[in-house]
Amino acid sequence: MALGNKNLLAVLKGELAFIENGSYRSPRETAWRPQFIFQDSPTCLNYKNPGKRHECGQCALIEFVPKGSRQERFPCRQIPLDESGQTLDFLYRTGTEEEAHGIVSDWLRATIVKLERESFSSPASEKAADSEALTARVEG
Q: For 22-36, write each residue's pLDDT tens digit.
A: 888 766 666 667 889
Q: How far is CA 24 from CA 62, 75, 96, 127, in A?
A: 21, 19, 13, 43
> CA 35 from chain center: how many Å?
17
CB-count exposure of residue 14 (10 Å: 0-12, 13-18, 19+): middle
Domain residue spans of the chain: 5-139
Mean pLDDT of the chain: 84
Q: What is the pLDDT of residues 47-92, one digit of tens each?
A: 888 788 899 999 999 999 999 999 999 999 999 999 999 999 999 9
d(CA 78, CA 58): 16
